[in-house]
Amino acid sequence: MSKEEQVAAIFERVLPSLDEDITGYLCGMVAEDPLQGEELLVESVGPFLLSTGYCDGEDRMVALCKNLNDALNHEFCRGGAGLPGVPIGGKAAPPQLLNAPVRMNAQMDAVSEATKEIFGLNNVRSQYNDTLEAEIGLSKRQERKLLQEEKRFLRNSKL
């Protein structure tokens, strides 16, 4: 079922006996962004409801737009394509306390071990990274000095 067909079904349920042509036009307009919110529905759909005589006052028009917004939110957010349980255009639910304490130490240890290997914090990579970092910020004199030290180290390690 396409988005426009879903919106048309909601319009038929919330606004029964609205003229077919107007319903088709409004469905096309609302289907572009079905989660646009109550205020925008009042601005876009409301004038059509008043001009066709579907509702007799602005209070009734606002109430119908609110019902339409709630139905759209339910269809496209909670029950369909959106994120489950996320209210759109309404008040957010108050935060709830957790039932049990959350222990993240084991998960964090696993993540830190993986991070060490990825970013070079194990022994082999840390030595390489230290050398690489040292090479980046050295002057010519410092480079010559390091080369001499490396040669001395290699000579001493061969003995």
Contacts of 5 (CB under 8 A, 6+ apart): none
Is the model's pLDDT at 159 over the cut of 80?
no
CA dihedral 7, 8, 11, 17 (to 10 degrees): 180
| pLDDT tens readout for residues 42-76 | 999 999 999 888 888 899 999 999 999 999 888 88
Percent of the chain with pLDDT over 90: 15
The larger pLDDT score, comparing residue 156 to residue 98, is at 156
| pLDDT tens readout for residues 118-136 | 665 555 555 666 666 656 6
For position 60, what pLDDT does the model report?
92
Q: Rounded to an integer, what distance in angstroms lies between the CA atom of residue 90 and that of residue 119?
A: 44
| pLDDT tens readout for residues 86-95 | 545 555 667 7
pTM of the model as a whole = 0.49
Domain parsing of the chain, residue ranges: 3-78, 105-158
Q: Identify whether the C-beta of residue 87 lies closer than 8 Å to the C-beta of residue 38.
A: no
